[in-house]
A and B are shown apart, each in its own frame.
Chain A
């Protein structure tokens, strides 16, 4: 998803990634302080370095209810940042605060909360996520950017797929016809993950392969990320020859390779894995 475009521009470079400029105590102090820029920075920092400490989780969960940091358009930058960070920390105690954030008026807060709930494997959020998909949550506002979406559908669909929400399949299917392609891809990705058999899943994987030849680079990038996430092996050749940056193709192929390695369990390298590695080598 959005990781494709911000790839490598994520603030800190890995050359300096080892340098932790804050301490946990300092970050929490900043987060609860009055300097808005430091509060956002501290939230980002806790997520970036995955500081999984119960005090950090508590302070970030509090920040999800912040009222001080508002944009002119009514957005909540600190809440967005905190919601993203909580997904990275991987701590289950953040789940209920994140579920409340699904009802936030700010589109991007809901988006980040949905992503984080998917990462955290929060089964209890399935019902609320499905309501969001049906646009049944009151008080939520549409995105301000183009294309205007009422809900962060792609993030919600992605989370539902990751959470194995098979009861949501009928609703998810309706999004295959959504006017925004990125949303269609997210639906296909989720349906692939929710399919009961490999043969039923295929049509969704193949749909995403088609998307690799979309005219728009941004959409080809999105399809690459989706195919990597589901590890759809028949896509290997199409990924290797897709018109996109090698770095993104490599990440997608890694997804395929790792899925294959997990399925073949252990030290045996099957022919398919070797083929994927050959393609990866050619892109290095």
Chain B
């Protein structure tokens, strides 16, 4: 797409003066898949318009690893918790291991439960094949340690996301590290039997992929 066309769509986002117009403009901009759209899509994450933010996240996920450095910078800059949650969601959706440290920190240290939730989920979706092979093992051991912590979070939604994250992670290391899969199974059995929330207890009983431990 021509740059002028992208620029026109960026202007339309800036000029939108109703929530519906904003949504439409963001959807159009996201559909371009243009790198130049990234800063604008990220700015939209801070507007309190969930539908526009959702469209921006989908657009950023489609831009894949190109969007990652921008997202990391945005998260570090100290955005509002809801903007941060959306950015973490985009990062999780992309699954680029460049985001590993950010996701690890967000899972256990962010004050917002929405951010911790999205980050815990993201740790189960990392594309390890994109990481330099000598770094994989140490990265993975941090992930399992962090998710074991998250499964004890004070908020049910973070524990729920950590269960899903652990299942996803187990599927990723099913062949390479079967011993981790066994410890995940044991940890999830404990959650199923003892979590305070019925929904979190139930989640490990449903394996979302055939490699997920029950």
CB distance from A108 to the nearest CB of B (A): 25
Please determine whether A217 and B110 come into contact, CB atoms closer than 8 angstroms. Answer: no
| Count of B interface residues, CB-CB < 8 Å | 32
Please determine whether A281 and B154 come into contact, CB atoms closer than 8 angstroms. Answer: no
CB distance from A243 to the nearest CB of B (A): 5
A73 at the interface (CB under 8 A from B): no
Please determine whether A262 and B198 come into contact, CB atoms closer than 8 angstroms. Answer: yes
Of the listed stretches B63-71, B96-104, B202-210, chain A binds B202-210
Please determine whether A8 and B113 come into contact, CB atoms closer than 8 angstroms. Answer: yes
CB distance from B103 to the nearest CB of A (A): 13
Please determine whether A269 and B199 come into contact, CB atoms closer than 8 angstroms. Answer: no
A258 at the interface (CB under 8 A from B): yes
A24 at the interface (CB under 8 A from B): no
Return chain B residues, CB-CB under 8 Å to A169.
none
Chain A's closest residue to B155 (CB) is A14
Return chain A residues, CB-CB under 8 Å to B202.
257, 261, 269, 273, 277
Return chain B residues, CB-CB under 8 Å to A269.
202, 205-206
Return chain B residues, CB-CB under 8 Å to A13.
111-112
Return chain B residues, CB-CB under 8 Å to A273.
202, 206
A-B pairs with beta carbons under 8 Å apart, 23 shown: A8-B113, A8-B114, A14-B154, A15-B110, A217-B50, A244-B50, A245-B50, A245-B82, A246-B50, A246-B114, A247-B113, A250-B117, A250-B157, A254-B156, A254-B160, A257-B199, A257-B202, A258-B199, A261-B199, A267-B205, A269-B205, A277-B202, A284-B121
A13 and B85 CA atoms in complex are apart in Å by 15
| Count of A interface residues, CB-CB < 8 Å | 29
Return chain B residues, CB-CB under 8 Å to A238.
none
A54 at the interface (CB under 8 A from B): no
CB distance from A209 to the nearest CB of B (A): 18
Please determine whether B164 and A281 come into contact, CB atoms closer than 8 angstroms. Answer: yes
A-B residue pair count with CB separations less than 8 angstroms: 74
Please determine whether A258 and B198 come into contact, CB atoms closer than 8 angstroms. Answer: yes
Return chain A residues, CB-CB under 8 Å to B111.
13-16
A104 at the interface (CB under 8 A from B): no
Chain A's closest residue to B111 (CB) is A13
CB distance from A49 to the nearest CB of B (A): 12
Chain B's closest residue to A253 (CB) is B199
A119 and B206 CA atoms in complex are apart in Å by 32
A106 and B73 CA atoms in complex are apart in Å by 48
Chain A 258-284 interface 0/1 with B at a Cβ cutoff of 8 Å (1 = within):
100110000101000110011011001
CB distance from B124 to the nearest CB of A (A): 9
B153 at the interface (CB under 8 A from A): yes
Known contacts A278-B208, A280-B199; 9 further A-B pairs (Cβ under 8 A): A14-B153, A14-B154, A15-B109, A15-B111, A245-B114, A247-B113, A257-B199, A258-B198, A284-B121
Question: Known: A17-B154, A269-B202. Contact between A243 and B112, CB under 8 A?
Answer: no
Chain A's closest residue to B81 (CB) is A8
A273 and B51 CA atoms in complex are apart in Å by 26
Chain A's closest residue to B19 (CB) is A217
Name B160's contact: one of A217, A261, A280 (CB within 8 Å). A280
A243 and B118 CA atoms in complex are apart in Å by 18
Chain B 187-203 interface 0/1 with A at a Cβ cutoff of 8 Å (1 = within):
00000000001110011
A179 at the interface (CB under 8 A from B): no
Please determine whether A274 and B110 come into contact, CB atoms closer than 8 angstroms. Answer: no
Which residues B149-170 have CB closer than 8 A to chain A?
A: 153-157, 160-161, 164
A17 and B149 CA atoms in complex are apart in Å by 16
Please determine whether B206 and A254 come into contact, CB atoms closer than 8 angstroms. Answer: no
Return chain B residues, CB-CB under 8 Å to A8.
81, 112-114
Chain B's closest residue to A277 (CB) is B206
CB distance from B212 to the nearest CB of A (A): 11
